[in-house]
Amino acid sequence: MMESHARPEEYALAAKEKEHSTRIKEEVIQFRFADNDSDDVEINAWELADAIQGFAGFTEQLARSGAFGEGVIQGTKVRPPKEGSFILEFVVPVIDWIANNPTGASALGATGGGGIAYTVKSAMKLAMFDKVKDVEPVPNEEDVVKVTWKSEEVNYVPRVAWDTLQKAPVKTRKNLQKIMAPLADSADKLEVRSGNVEESSDQIINNEVEETFDNQDFRDLWAQKEEPVEKIGFFESEAVVQSIDFRPDGKWLLKVGQRDRKVAIEDTDFLRELDNGMKIGKDDTFQVTIKETQLITEGSSKSEWVVVKIRRTRVGDGEKLN
């Protein structure tokens, strides 16, 4: 079972000034793989390679979205392992929010990692399709969101990180599968801690455990299948009529930009005008508002377009279609 040791209120940033420092600092996130007696374990070489590759991919995914601050070019590094124990430590560059906002020195920033440890936990829950009950902004903190899960557990996550995790659930899950690879047979649990680069491995290991994952979490992560995700959006465009179809479920063929798409017409005012005798010609140009419904599953996506508003802007030279 996943367990969270830190109190939710510790994660939230206190109110801070609007301007962020552009100074970049390095934070450390520590992975300790152990057995049920909390003793260090040996790790299969292939599983170790997966864990490193998975975390590098995960942080690159977040950095590209701006989760570590504007202008941060991701370059995650691995600290030299300490002789006598097996601990993975990653050095991650992030914008130094705390330097510019001393009142914001709570756990999300001050414990290190720029919220990375909490982002890992939220990514894990999303990857396993845990249901979100509510997402809301933190008062006086525009860069952090409060995520309440159906289980009533609460996480505080950087807003851009949360947005990124929702946009790429499949890629997120694959990276987390790699991070947790040693839980397949080498270790019983993964302890996640964070700190700053001035702290030694021994000092960080004495920090509070922020998240713990175990073998069952690893098995659940692999057992879960991608549930379809439906996204709905609207956009406006110019469209040229190619063909029309007045059957009950018929769709019109429109050229939208450089693409030919079959779309349903649901603008009742426009359809009423057609019933009253308005003529449509091939190559007539219209301004349209399109509702796009995307159904996203693992490895594929498909979209359906419906025209909810259509207005003719130019009559073409082509033959009449009705």
Q: What structural domains does the chain harbor?
A: 8-223 (no CATH), 229-314 (2.40.50.140)
Contact 191, 39 (CB under 8 A): no
The span from the CA of 285 to the CA of 281, in Å, is: 9
Instruction: Give me the helices (H) in 147-209, please.
Output: 159-167, 169-179, 201-205
User: How confident is the prediction for the chain on average, in pLDDT?
Assistant: 75
Per-residue pLDDT at 67: 62
User: Residue 13: pLDDT above 50?
Assistant: no
User: Residue 98: pLDDT above 50?
Assistant: no
Q: Which amino acid, one-letter code, is at 240?
A: V
Q: What is the pLDDT of residues 34-92, one digit of tens each?
A: 888 888 788 889 999 999 999 888 888 777 766 666 655 557 888 887 665 668 888 87
Residue 26 Ramachandran class (φ > 0 left, ψ -120 to 50 alpha, else beta): beta
The span from the CA of 69 to the CA of 75, in Å, is: 13
Contact 193, 30 (CB under 8 A): yes
Q: What is the pLDDT of residues 99-118, one digit of tens each?
A: 444 433 343 443 344 456 66
